[in-house]
Amino acid sequence: MNRLEVKNLACERGGRLLFSNISFSLNPGAVLVIEGRNGAGKTTLLRMLAGLRSIEDGVVSFDGLSIEQLADAYYQQMAYLGHLNAVKYDLTVSENLKFAQQLSTVVSNIDDALHKVGLDGYQDTLSRHLSAGQKRKLALARLLCIHKRLWILDEPFTSLDKSSIAMFEGLIHEHVSQGGMVIITTHHPINLPDSILLRLTL
Amino acid sequence: MIMKWLHKFSSPPYFYALSGKLIKWLSVLLVAFLAAGLYGGLVLAPADYQQGDSFRIIYVHVPAAWMSLFIYMVMAVSGTIALVWRIKLAEIVSVCSPPIGAGFTFLALVTGSIWGKPMWGTWWVWDARLTSELILLFLYLGLIGLYTAIEDKRTASRSVAILALVGVVNIPIIHYSVEWWNTLHQGPTVTKFDKPSIHIDMLIPLLNMAIAFKLYFAIALLMRSRNELLQREQNGRWVEEVLEGK
Amino acid sequence: MHLRAFGAVIVRDLLLAFRHKSELVNSIAFFILVVSLFPLGVGADIALLRKIAPGVIWVAALLATFLSLDQLFRSDYEDGCLELILMSPHPVSLIVLAKIMAHWMLTGVPLTLIAPLLAGMYGLENSSIAVLMLTLLIGTPILSLIGAIAIALTVGLRKGGVMLALLILPFYVPVLIFATAAIDAQIAGFPVSGQINMLLALLALALTLSPWPTAVALKMSLS
CA distance A197 to B228: 46
Distance from CA of C174 to the nearest CA of A (A): 35
CA distance A128 to C104: 26
Q: Residue A166's closest CA among A117, A113, A114? A: A117
pLDDT above 90: percentage of residues in chain A = 39
How many structural domains does chain A have?
Answer: 1
Which residue has better confidence, B6 or A86? A86
What region does A105 belong to: left with phi over 0, alpha with psi -120 to 50, or beta?
A: alpha
Residue C215 near residue C92, CB atoms below 8 Å: yes
pLDDT, residue B43, reads 82
pLDDT, residue B2, reads 65
Distance from CA of C109 to the nearest CA of A (A): 23
Is the per-residue pLDDT at B191 higher than 60? no
pLDDT, residue B6, reads 66
Mean pLDDT of A16-34: 88
Mean pLDDT of A87-115: 90
CA distance B6 to B4: 5
CATH of the domain at A158: 3.40.50.300
For A41, the domain range is: 4-201
pLDDT above 90: percentage of residues in chain B = 41
Mean pLDDT of B12-25: 86
Task: List, for residues B214-244, the tens digit of each pLDDT value.
Answer: 999 999 999 999 988 888 887 777 887 777 7
Mean pLDDT of B141-150: 92
Task: List, for residues B26-79, the tens digit of each pLDDT value.
Answer: 999 999 999 988 888 888 877 776 777 777 888 899 899 999 999 999 999 999
Is the per-residue pLDDT at A14 higher than 80? no
CA distance A73 to A89: 29
Helices within chain A (DSSP H only): 42-49, 67-70, 93-102, 110-117, 132-145, 162-177
Distance from CA of A52 to the nearest CA of C (A): 6
Task: List, for residues C21-68, the tens digit of each pLDDT value.
Answer: 887 889 999 999 999 999 999 988 999 999 999 999 999 999 999 999
Task: List, for residues C131-162, the tens digit of each pLDDT value.
Answer: 999 999 999 999 999 999 999 999 988 766 67
Q: Residue A137's closest CA among A112, A159, A108, A121? A: A159
Is the per-residue pLDDT at B206 higher than 90? no
If contacts are CB pairs under 8 Å, which of residues 6-45 in chain C contact chain A? 7-8, 12, 15-16, 19-20
Are residues C222 and A52, on separate chains, in Cβ contact within 8 Å?
Answer: yes
Q: Where are the domains of chain C?
A: 2-222
Question: Where does the pLDDT of residue B1 fall: very low under 50, low under 70, confident under 90, or very high at 90 and above?
Answer: low
CA distance C154 to C218: 9
- What ipTM was predicted for this assembly? 0.90
Of A78, A83, A91, the CB nearest to C16: A91
pLDDT, residue B192, reads 47
CA distance A12 to C11: 40
Are residues A86 and C81, on separate chains, in Cβ contact within 8 Å?
Answer: yes
∠ Cα C183 C186 C192 (to 5°): 85
| pLDDT, averaged across chain C | 92
Q: Best of C218, C220, C221 to disrupt the B interface by mutation (most B CBs within 10 Å)?
A: C220
DSSP state of A22: E
pLDDT, residue B154, reads 84
Mean pLDDT of B192-213: 75
A75–C contact, CB cutoff 8 A: yes
Mean pLDDT of C187-210: 93
Which residue has better confidence, B195 or C73? C73
Task: List, for residues C2-27, the tens digit of each pLDDT value.
Answer: 889 999 999 999 999 998 888 788 99
Residue A58 near residue A10, CB atoms below 8 Å: yes
Mean pLDDT of C76-83: 92
Contacts of B231 in chain A (CB under 8 A): none
Q: Taking CA atoms, what residue in A is nearest to B86? A: A56
Task: List, for residues A51-70, the tens digit of each pLDDT value.
Answer: 888 888 888 999 888 888 88
Of B152, B232, B235, the CB nearest to A16: B235
Q: Best of B85, B154, B158, B231 to disrupt the A interface by mutation (most A CBs within 10 Å)?
A: B154
Is the per-residue pLDDT at A32 higher than 50? yes
pLDDT, residue B88, reads 84
Q: How many CB atoms lie within 10 A of CB B243?
A: 10
Are residues C87 and A80, on separate chains, in Cβ contact within 8 Å?
Answer: yes
Is the per-residue pLDDT at C163 higher than 90? no
A60: part of which helix (H) or strand (E)?
A: strand A57-62
pLDDT, residue B187, reads 46
B237–A contact, CB cutoff 8 A: no
∠ Cα B23 B26 B29 (to 5°): 155
A16–B contact, CB cutoff 8 A: yes
Mean pLDDT of B93-109: 95
Are residues B232 and A16, on separate chains, in Cβ contact within 8 Å?
Answer: no
Contacts of C219 in chain B (CB under 8 A): none
Question: Do the strands A197-201 and A57-62 form a parallel or antiparallel pair, or are they unpaired?
Answer: unpaired
Question: Where does the pLDDT of residue B190 fall: very low under 50, low under 70, confident under 90, or very high at 90 and above?
Answer: very low
Are residues C220 and B162, on separate chains, in Cβ contact within 8 Å?
Answer: yes
Q: Tell me which of A24-28, A108-112, B191-195, C201-205 is least confident.
A: B191-195
Is the per-residue pLDDT at B97 higher than 50? yes
